[in-house]
Structure 1
């Protein structure tokens, strides 16, 4: 009779140990990523056709496919203008649940393609949505004001089952342009060489404050003759203290003092006052608008006035 092998004798003793051996691929040093139920159903590589090849495989823990590509919001606009906001996004196969716009913490717009109505407008300070002209990823704002300025955020949310979300933020500044030319105040209109000219130039109704500059006979006056102060309202006032010389009095004893106000590339205006030597008739202050002789259909009288207007103070 054949004696039992060593393996046969040891097997009853070793068999309980095999019950503790992990099953499947748990010994693999690299774990397979967990696939969500949604991704499993839409896997384009499945042989049963359930995925339809419409969406890529989605793996939990990886960056979401949905994203906002770009937000078009003008960086700087003038008060009273109409503004267009555009949100460019990529759903990457998802369906859109909603697109919302925020200014700071205030939501003012929502587009939901499966809702009735699709567009909902919310009240927010300084925000006036032109609802008939807005829709989808485009929002039109009417009559923007300083209150309309701030950080604008577009947020896109995908439909069930992913509910993925992404957003982008960009800022808009609103410029308030002065309604009038700068205002000049002078201590006197007649001076002799060697006297001190004291004058103020101010501009109101602007935000941010415009840049002010003094000129005499078209030449800029050095900054060490100037002092810039701000009124309680925030409006700037440029003070001038300047020694007048005989060389300043040109054109038969007259000197032209000018103050200009400019604000970025949106506004440029000037005011002028004529200073004279004693005994010479002075003229009233003049306000000039940059390009003020430009008009669509000028009359002959208007053209003549534009040509000879600057000479009138010198022939009086």
Structure 2
């Protein structure tokens, strides 16, 4: 893009949104030097430089800084693009990646673009539905929970979403159940990341989740002996 007689030097970057620990990630930086020459191209991870390309330094145009978070391999380089691969990724390699392009003398114009990448400990697995049955009594309250199949890292908490025949709208889900049954369905949403499940109030904390007794407005103060199985849920639906 050109405005006011100036054209963008940096056309764009390509950074994957997710990668896996022990695996690789390919990053690309594309630039346009038709109006000037390149002085340097640098890659940063969380503001720490780890790759530098300076065409005028003929003896050592490429400088790669060692890192305990990943190893760097230059895959491709020409007058319009530089592509690198990060290998042996660690979870600490998560964060912001920025490509910076500097034009040659006399302008030394500097442009940069950034994107975030999250390194997961292991590939995600399908979630597990908890508490669902095929048959319910007409007056029975239906409660279904959804939870990750495996424990997750506190910094990489997955997002669980409900779908019905490809539709993500939870209200559509409620109406569909209502139309196909004589039961009455309601949807309960979390409030400030807190959600009551049966007689337990579930809320997140630094270690994962915290639970306490939940006294609902309909509580009559009567107690029955019973057992409550409370799954480790990130998102629950009460129908």
TM-score normalised by length of structure 1: 0.40
Aligned to 1:138: 83
Separation (CA, whole Å) in 2 of partners of 1:103 and 1:152: 5
Which protein has the bigger helix share? Answer: 1
Relative to structure 1, is the Cα distance of residues 127 and 239 closer, same or farther in structure 2, using a 3 angstrom cutoff? farther
Matched, 1:87 2:29: yes
Say whether the 8 Å CA contact 2:43–2:99 is kept in structure 1: yes
Give the C-alpha shift of residue 230 in structure 1. Answer: 5.7
Give the C-alpha shift of residue 177 in structure 1. Answer: 3.5
Matched, 1:122 2:70: no
Matched, 1:154 2:96: no
Separation (CA, whole Å) in 2 of partners of 1:259 and 1:95: 59
Give the C-alpha shift of residue 154 in structure 1. Answer: 0.8
Separation (CA, whole Å) in 2 of partners of 1:240 and 1:114: 68
Taking CA–CA contacts closer than 8 Å with sequence separation of 6 or more, which of the two structures ends up with the larger relative contact order?
Answer: 2
Structure 1: 5+ residue stretches without partners? 1-61, 183-200, 213-221, 245-256, 264-316
Separation (CA, whole Å) in 2 of partners of 1:178 and 1:86: 23
Question: For 1:194-220, what per-residue CA distance to the aligned partner results, in whole angstroms no more than 9, with x for missing partners?
Answer: xxxxxxx995452423579xxxxxxxx
Say whether the 8 Å CA contact 1:106–1:124 is kept in structure 2: no
Structure 2: 5+ residue stretches without partners? 128-146, 161-187, 189-195, 215-224
Relative to structure 1, is the Cα distance of residues 95 and 210 closer, same or farther in structure 2, using a 3 angstrom cutoff? closer
Aligned counterpart for 1:224 among listed residues 172, 188, 197: 197
Matched, 1:173 2:118: yes
Relative to structure 1, is the Cα distance of residues 258 and 228 closer, same or farther in structure 2, using a 3 angstrom cutoff? closer
Separation (CA, whole Å) in 2 of partners of 1:261 and 1:135: 46
The count of corresponding residues between Structure 1 and Structure 2 is 161
Relative to structure 1, is the Cα distance of residues 127 and 135 closer, same or farther in structure 2, using a 3 angstrom cutoff? farther
Relative to structure 1, is the Cα distance of residues 82 and 230 closer, same or farther in structure 2, using a 3 angstrom cutoff? same
Separation (CA, whole Å) in 1 of partners of 2:226 and 2:60: 70
What is the DSSP-based 3-state SS (H/G/I as helix, E as strand, rest coil) of the residue aligned with 1:147? helix
Aligned pairs for 1:237-248 within 5 A: 243=226
Say whether the 8 Å CA contact 2:197–2:230 is kept in structure 1: no
Relative to structure 1, is the Cα distance of residues 63 and 164 closer, same or farther in structure 2, using a 3 angstrom cutoff? farther
Quick check: which has more Rg, 1 or 2? 1
Give the C-alpha shift of residue 130 in structure 1. Answer: 2.3
